[in-house]
């Protein structure tokens, strides 16, 4: 498999999932991939989580080891030698560090943006876990928040949670006829049962007017995955 480009731990991944409009996403689908659905539903997800113990090519950069990320992603698949690979495409990834944005956009041709960010994890006396991620857009704070049961449970095979979390490939549109592919290696995550959740997102400013109806409708679901150590492998061109 070779050596990873990046290693880290991804923790407490809060995923709020929406039914997506294929007409909005299709122009963003990388060459030779296609939109992926679960039970004929096309999903887009707002995902907030923490990077911890981050290393790039084995090197730990001062002040860049631990940081928040919030991304908007959707789901695609790519047929490789007759076998489908399930992956994600990022509409935009938000982080609090300019250097991270520069490296990701330069090396991986992703769509990172830098905004002030905050997070909070709290274990309550009644055995609950409260998780929140916030990011500032034009002087206003956006957020993803959830309260969930403290103990995680295994993902059920064939479930929506399995579809949302078990995408181990990333795809990027490099140009009109070239797609970048990279593998994200990690074990299957367990999830916490969510009791309640809320979100606020300035979709128009962050993603453009076409995404406003998608992100203003009632979400289909929300998931909180415990996360794990991960390895991001070097990108290759398809």
DSSP-derived secondary structure for 178-234: EEEEEEEE-PPPPEEPEEEEEEE--HHHHH-GGGHHHHHSPPSEEEEEEEEEEEEPP
67 has a pLDDT exceeding 80: yes
Tell me the per-residue pLDDT of 170-186, one tens digit each, with 9 for 90 and over: 999 988 899 999 999 99
Tell me the per-residue pLDDT of 183-215, one tens digit each, with 9 for 90 and over: 999 999 999 999 999 999 999 999 999 999 999
Cβ neighbours of residue 101 under 8 Å, at least 6 residues apart? 95, 112, 113, 114
Q: How confident is the model at residue 58 (pLDDT cuts 50, 70, 90)?
A: low
* φ and ψ of 213, to 5 deg: -60, -40
Percent of the chain with pLDDT over 90: 82
pLDDT at 228: 96
Taking the C-alpha atoms of residue 58 and residue 146, their distance in angstroms, rounded to an integer, is 33
| Sheet bearing 117-123, strands edge to edge | 117-123, 128-137, 140-149, 194-200
Taking the C-alpha atoms of residue 145 and residue 150, their distance in angstroms, rounded to an integer, is 15
Cβ atoms of residues 130 and 110 within 8 Å: no
Other beta carbons less than 10 A from residue 50's beta carbon? 19
Question: Which helix H or strand E contains 148, and what residues bound it?
Answer: strand 140-149
Domain locations along the chain:
6-114+151-237
26 has a pLDDT exceeding 90: yes
Q: What is the DSSP letter of 65?
A: S
1 has a pLDDT exceeding 80: no
Higher pLDDT, 1 or 142: 142
pLDDT at 56: 76
Show the beta-strand stretches assigned E in 1-137: 6-19, 34-35, 37-38, 41-56, 67-80, 83-95, 112-114, 117-123, 128-137
Tell me the per-residue pLDDT of 83-92, one tens digit each, with 9 for 90 and over: 999 999 999 9
Model confidence, pTM:
0.93
pLDDT at 53: 86
Tell me the per-residue pLDDT of 221-231, one tens digit each, with 9 for 90 and over: 999 999 999 99
Give the lowest-confidence range in 52-61, 138-147, 222-231: 52-61
| Domain 6-114+151-237 is found in CATH 2.40.400.10 | yes
CA–centroid distance for 178 within its chain: 22
CA–centroid distance for 207 within its chain: 15
59 has a pLDDT exceeding 70: no
């Amino acid at each position: 498999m070779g050596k990873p480009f990046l290693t880290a731990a991804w923790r407490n991944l809060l995923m709020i999932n929406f039914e997506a409009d294929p007409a909005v996403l299709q122009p963003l689908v990388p060459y030779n991939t296609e939109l992926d659905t679960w039970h004929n539903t096309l999903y887009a997800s707002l995902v907030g989580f923490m990077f911890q113990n981050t290393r790039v090519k084995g090197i730990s950069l001062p002040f860049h080891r631990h940081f928040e990320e919030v991304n908007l992603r959707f789901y695609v698949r790519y047929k490789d030698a007759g076998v489908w690979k399930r992956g994600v495409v990022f509409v935009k990834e938000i982080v609090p560090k300019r250097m991270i944005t520069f490296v990701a956009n330069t090396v991986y041709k992703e769509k990172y943006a830098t905004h002030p960010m905050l997070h909070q994890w709290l274990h309550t006396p009644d055995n609950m876990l409260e998780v929140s991620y916030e990011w500032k857009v034009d002087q206003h704070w956006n957020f993803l928040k959830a309260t969930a049961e403290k103990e995680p449970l295994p993902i059920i095979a064939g479930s929506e949670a399995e579809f949302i979390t078990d995408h181990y490939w990333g795809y990027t549109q490099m140009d009109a006829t070239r797609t970048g592919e990279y593998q994200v290696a990690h074990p299957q995550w367990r999830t916490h049962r969510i009791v309640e959740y809320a979100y606020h997102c300035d979709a128009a400013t962050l993603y453009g007017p076409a995404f406003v109806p998608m992100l203003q409708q009632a979400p289909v679901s929300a998931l909180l995955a415990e996360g794990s150590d991960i390895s991001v492998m070097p990108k290759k061109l398809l």
